[in-house]
Amino acid sequence: MSSTSQKHKDFVAEPMGEKSVMALAGIGDVLGKRLEEKGFDKAYVVLGQFLVLKKDEELFRDWLKDTCGANAKQQGDCYGCLREWCDSFL
């Protein structure tokens, strides 16, 4: 895996609280708006979906692609961010 972004590092450094979905690595304004339109307005709502999918990378990547059109890099960045956050806080 390539080095993580500053956004990733910032996200996994602390509890998620009420962070916007756009705080997740790999999720910018465009994907964030698409997720918000489907009810995924907070990072913890996306985390819930991640957990429902049992932290399975392939299932989560497919869900992200189908839900907001994320490309492979965006899928991987978001998955890695949530996986690392879970490893630290769950």
CATH number at residue 40: 1.10.150.40
1 lies in some domain = no
13 lies in some domain = yes
The total of structural domains in the chain comes to 1
44 lies in some domain = yes
35 lies in some domain = yes
| Res 4: pLDDT | 84
Decide if pLDDT at 19 tops 50: yes
Q: pTM of the full predicted structure?
A: 0.94
Cα-trace Rg, the chain:
12
Question: pLDDT-based confidence at 1, cuts 50/70/90?
Answer: very low
Q: What domain range is 51 assigned to?
A: 6-89
Question: pLDDT-based confidence at 42, cuts 50/70/90?
Answer: very high
* Residue 57 · residue 79 · CB < 8 Å: yes
Decide if pLDDT at 2 tops 70: no
Decide if pLDDT at 81 tops 60: yes
